[in-house]
């Protein structure tokens, strides 16, 4: 019978494997010991006997295992019938990694146990343990980095129930469910980054990183490396290990490109490749990396005018402008001032309140710095005033240069000058329904009651106007 044929005999193979396994472990281990059902030693090899100070293995026969091997758990294995596959055993010289197995008779009853002290295993395991510790440290660092890159804001942080604010949140919520690029347009200080984080927090990528990069804040010579990362030793002074770029850090998550209008033209073409081909190359590398990021861009500049000046690529603009969201300036949503002011003072942990004339003054300022300026004014007024209620004088002093709002009624008229009666009616219905829903925390039944409508009628109007029920 050939070796191949003999291997087909399961029982024969099993016996051969058991014998081979025992011989291999016994020969390569530091020591082997066998005990009976009373945990008395019936066999021990010479190496193990010498480790515990015996002249020969015969001195151990018939003795309780604990009297020869202090701290032995072979008695526990015999009693429970459960193996202890890996454990540390203290010895006079050094600890060993040991394995303890029960021994069964033909009927399956436990009749003893066998213990192996694995030869030199601690030194053999040392590289493995070091690698495990290194992996644990790397994982902890990655988790720490991810926590630092988590979005801090949700849609609840975008304060406002005006029609303009509700429309922004409606479009942003719709954009959160897809991976399409979003382009946030608006003046500085309107809350574009807050809105970008809110979109990320409501998206399927919320558990991944939110990474922000400001094209206007980084020198043009460093922007490409910041964006794509660098290969090891890509240029003089570069990190020898290479450095991941924001695209790699944001992998699986969201990349927020603030002030996209200030991005240099050469980098714009590379960004276009990322959006179209989903791949990029680190600086100084020929390796092509796959990109899995959702891009949200923001700008306070007029991109169409920049295209006409040759400062911004038209193809990149069309690729980014899939879902444009115009974030309104504060002067166009003055109805939100009371709620915004209250939220800001609460965030500042201030006990101050605003008098009616202070709110009225806030409503007459043009707010060139928008919500960021409002926060600055309220924080300054709260710090400088000893009174709990901030009056108009406190606010006027905190504003500094007061810029009066120019003809708010004319501005409102301009926005609807060319509007048809049907469009105006639709705009009024949407504003009224959205405002009521927001006031009722999205409860349609309660909103219908306040509007004097039946629930089914309100649902039909919401569907017709494209208003989400969660609104």
The span from the CA of 219 to the CA of 177, in Å, is 34
**How open is the CA angle 119-122-124, to the nearest 5 degrees?**
75
- Tokens 């192996």 found at: 116
As a three-state string, the secondary structure of the chain is CCHHHHCCCHHHHHHHHHHHHHHHHHHHCCEEEEEECCCEEEEECHHHHHHCCCCCHHHHCCCEHHHHCCCCCHHHHHHHCCCEEEEEECCCCCCEEEEEEEEECCCCCEEEEEEEECCCHHHHHHHHHHHHHHHHHHHHHHHHHHHHCCCCCCHHHCCCCCHHHHHHHHHHHHHHCCCCCEEEECCCCCCHHHHHHHHHHCCCCCCCCEEEEECCCCCHHHHHHHHHEECCCCCCCCCCCCEECHHHHCCCCEEEEECHHHCCHHHHHHHHHHHHHCEECCECCCCCEECCCEEEEEECCCHHHHHHCCCCCHHHHHHHCCEEEECCCHHHCHHHHHHHHHHHHHHCCCCCEECHHHHHHHCCECCCCHHHHHHHHHHHHHHHCCCCEECHHHHHHHHCCCCECCCHHHHHHHHCCCCCHHHHHHHHHHHHHHHHHHHCCCCHHHHHHHHCCCHHHHHHHHHHHCCCCCC
Q: Please check whether residues 162 and 311 belong to one and the same domain.
A: yes
pLDDT at 413: 43
pLDDT at 431: 79
For residue 230, list its beta bridge partners. 243, 283
The span from the CA of 158 to the CA of 199, in Å, is 11
**How open is the CA angle 411-415-420, to the nearest 5 degrees?**
140
Name the maximum alpha-carbon separation found in the chain. Answer: 109
Report how far apart, in Å, the C-alpha atoms of 27 and of each of 68, 238, 375 are.
21, 52, 76
CATH of the domain at 436: 1.10.10
Tally of domains within the chain: 4
Q: Please check whether residues 67 and 189 belong to one and the same domain.
A: no
CATH of the domain at 46: 3.30.450.20
Contact indicator for 447, 457 with CB cutoff of 8 Å: no
| 294 in a structural domain | yes
**362, 382, 408 — which closes off a domain?**
408
**359, 387, 408 — which closes off a domain?**
408
The span from the CA of 283 to the CA of 269, in Å, is 15
The number of angstroms, rounded, from the C-alpha of 52 to the middle of its chain's C-alpha atoms is 54
| 314 in a structural domain | yes
Q: Please check whether residues 210 and 279 belong to one and the same domain.
A: yes
Q: Please check whether residues 243 and 340 belong to one and the same domain.
A: no
| 126 in a structural domain | no
Q: Please check whether residues 362 and 422 belong to one and the same domain.
A: no
CATH of the domain at 193: 3.40.50.300
Q: Please check whether residues 202 and 309 belong to one and the same domain.
A: yes
Q: Please check whether residues 200 and 228 belong to one and the same domain.
A: yes
The span from the CA of 353 to the CA of 371, in Å, is 18
HSE-CB at 465 with a 13 A cutoff on CA atoms is: 25
The span from the CA of 235 to the CA of 135, in Å, is 29
Q: Please check whether residues 175 and 312 belong to one and the same domain.
A: yes
Contact indicator for 328, 340 with CB cutoff of 8 Å: no
| 315 in a structural domain | yes
| 176 in a structural domain | yes
pLDDT at 324: 92
pLDDT at 5: 54
Q: How many residues does the chain have?
A: 471
pLDDT at 408: 46
Q: Please check whether residues 15 and 88 belong to one and the same domain.
A: yes
| 135 in a structural domain | no
The number of angstroms, rounded, from the C-alpha of 446 to the middle of its chain's C-alpha atoms is 36
The per-residue pLDDT string of the chain (471 residues; one tens digit each, 9 = 90 and over) reads: 555 555 566 677 777 777 777 777 666 677 889 999 999 999 998 888 888 889 999 999 999 999 999 888 999 999 999 999 888 887 777 777 888 999 998 888 999 999 988 755 555 555 655 666 666 666 665 555 555 566 788 888 999 888 889 999 999 999 998 999 999 999 999 999 999 999 999 999 998 999 999 988 888 778 888 888 888 765 555 556 678 889 999 999 999 999 999 999 989 998 999 999 999 888 888 888 898 999 999 999 999 999 999 999 999 999 999 999 999 999 999 999 999 999 999 989 888 999 989 999 999 999 999 999 999 999 999 999 989 999 999 999 999 888 888 654 444 444 455 567 677 777 778 878 877 787 777 788 888 888 878 888 888 888 887 777 654
pLDDT at 259: 92
Q: Please check whether residues 213 and 319 belong to one and the same domain.
A: yes
Confidence (pTM): 0.58
- Tokens 């979003």 found at: 182
**117, 141, 169 — which closes off a domain?**
117
The closest of 368, 325, 360, 366 to 341, measured between CA atoms, is 360
| 81 in a structural domain | yes
Q: Please check whether residues 365 and 440 belong to one and the same domain.
A: no
Q: Please check whether residues 373 and 439 belong to one and the same domain.
A: no
* First-last CA distance in the chain: 80
Domain residue limits at 215: 155-328
| 429 in a structural domain | yes
């Amino acid at each position: 019978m050939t070796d191949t044929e003999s291997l087909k005999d399961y029982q024969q193979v099993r016996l051969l494997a058991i014998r081979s396994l025992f011989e291999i472990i016994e020969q390569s281990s530091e020591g082997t010991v066998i005990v009976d059902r009373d945990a008395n030693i019936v066999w021990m090899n010479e190496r193990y006997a010498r480790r515990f100070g015996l002249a020969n293995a015969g001195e151990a026969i018939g003795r309780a295992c604990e009297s020869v091997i202090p701290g032995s758990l072979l008695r526990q294995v015999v009693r429970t019938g459960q193996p202890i596959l890996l454990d540390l055993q203290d010895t006079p010289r050094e600890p060993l990694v040991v394995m303890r197995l029960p021994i069964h008779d033909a009927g399956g009853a436990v009749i003893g146990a066998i213990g192996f002290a694995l030869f030199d295993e601690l030194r053999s395991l040392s590289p493995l343990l070091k690698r495990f510790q290194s992996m644990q440290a790397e994982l902890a660092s990655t988790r720490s980095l991810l926590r630092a890159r988590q979005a801090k804001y949700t849609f609840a942080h975008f304060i406002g129930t005006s029609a303009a604010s509700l429309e922004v949140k409606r479009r942003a919520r719709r954009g959160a469910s897809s991976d399409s690029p979003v382009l946030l347009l608006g003046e500085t200080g309107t809350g574009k980054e807050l809105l970008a984080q809110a979109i990320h927090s409501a998206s399927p990528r919320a558990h991944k990183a939110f990474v922000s990069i400001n094209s206007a804040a980084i020198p043009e010579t460093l922007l490409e490396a910041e964006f794509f990362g660098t290969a090891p030793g890509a240029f003089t002074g570069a990190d020898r290990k290479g450095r991941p770029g924001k695209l790699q850090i944001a992998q699986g998550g969201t990349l927020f490109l603030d002030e996209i209008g200030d991005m240099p033209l050469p980098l714009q073409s590379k960004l276009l490749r990322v959006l179209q081909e989903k791949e990029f190359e680190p600086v100084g590398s020929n390796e092509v990396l796959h990109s899995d990021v959702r891009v949200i861009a923001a700008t306070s500049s007029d991109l169409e005018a920049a295209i006409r000046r040759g400062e911004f690529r038209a193809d990149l603009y069309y690729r980014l402008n899939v879902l444009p969201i115009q974030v309104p300036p504060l002067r166009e949503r003055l109805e939100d001032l009371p709620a915004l002011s209250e939220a800001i003072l609460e965030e500042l942990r201030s006990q101050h309140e605003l008098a009616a004339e202070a709110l009225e003054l806030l409503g007459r300022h043009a707010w060139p710095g928008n919500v960021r300026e409002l926060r600055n004014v309220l924080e300054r007024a709260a710090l400088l005033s000893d009174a709990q209620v901030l009056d108009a004088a406190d606010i006027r002093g905190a504003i500094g240069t007061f810029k009066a709002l120019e003809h708010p009624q004319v501005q409102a008229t301009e926005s609807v000058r060319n509007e048809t009666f049907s469009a105006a009616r639709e705009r009024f219905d949407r504003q009224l329904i959205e405002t009521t829903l927001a006031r009722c925390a999205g409860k349609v039944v309660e909103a219908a009651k306040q509007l004097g409508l039946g629930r089914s009628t309100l649902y039909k109007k919401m569907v017709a106007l494209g208003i989400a029920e969660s609104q």
